[in-house]
A and B are shown apart, each in its own frame.
Chain A
Amino acid sequence: DSGVTQTPKHLITATGQRVTLRCSPRSGDLSVYWYQQSLDQGLQFLIQYYNGEERAKGNILERFSAQQFPDLHSELNLSSLELGDSALYFCASSGINNEQFFGPGTRLTVL
């Protein structure tokens, strides 16, 4: 158990819908990262937050957005969902030691 929690574990929805994925980092970690992992793409970095502020942006679509709240939990919002958005979405957190600890992931299926 990495100490990072993610909900929900599974999510099934339809094209065009909007979903919110939630992540709670390890106690004391200020950084939260979001990754997308699809079968043909591997792990792709989406976005990083540090203590509530956006720190780095990767291959994140405009239909996707994220935020980190004062209690340091983070949410990833995915809208106008397409079939190709079906993937595993991982959240990770890190403290001062650089190592990123990954949550169990949310498996999103868009039908």
Chain B
Amino acid sequence: GQNIDQPTEMTATEGAIVQINCTYQTSGFNGLFWYQQHAGEAPTFLSYNVLDGLEEKGRFSSFLSRSKGYSYLLLKELQMKDSASYLCAQKRAGNMLTFGGGTRLMVKP
């Protein structure tokens, strides 16, 4: 993706906590999305941050720092079904999304 960086792969253990980081270009920033995508399937919405701070939604939380151009997705109590790609996407003018390359998370027993 354009100037959106996230790790390519991560591995974590079932029941643990994992943090997936994302950095983006601050110019033209209009919001930050996280999507989950299982292989061959459509991305599904996880979170949307437009203001600084932490948004918690069940086992998933997302954090944003606009001044640092930084976000992270926190997944707690990992389950095997959380093995998927996690896509960070920056919203620009006109609701257009620019996606990062995605982080492939493997959850091991």
A68 to chain B, nearest CB (A): 14
Q: Please measure, in the bound complex, the distance between the C-alpha atom of A102 and the C-alpha atom of B96, giving whole angstroms.
A: 14
Q: Please measure, in the bound complex, the distance between the C-alpha atom of A48 and the C-alpha atom of B35, giving whole angstroms.
A: 19
Q: Can you give 24 A-B contacts (C-beta < 8 A)?
A: A2-B42, A31-B95, A33-B95, A33-B96, A33-B97, A35-B99, A42-B1, A42-B87, A42-B99, A43-B43, A48-B96, A56-B93, A90-B42, A90-B43, A94-B95, A98-B31, A98-B48, A98-B91, A100-B45, A100-B97, A102-B42, A102-B44, A104-B41, A105-B41
Interface residues on B, range: 20 to 34
Q: Are A99 and B48 in contact (CB under 8 A)?
A: yes
Main secondary structure of the interface of A (DSSP, over half): strand
B90 to chain A, nearest CB (A): 11
Query: Lowest 10 CB-CB distances: which A-B pairs, in order?
Result: A102-B42, A43-B99, A42-B101, A56-B94, A56-B96, A102-B43, A99-B45, A104-B42, A55-B94, A105-B42
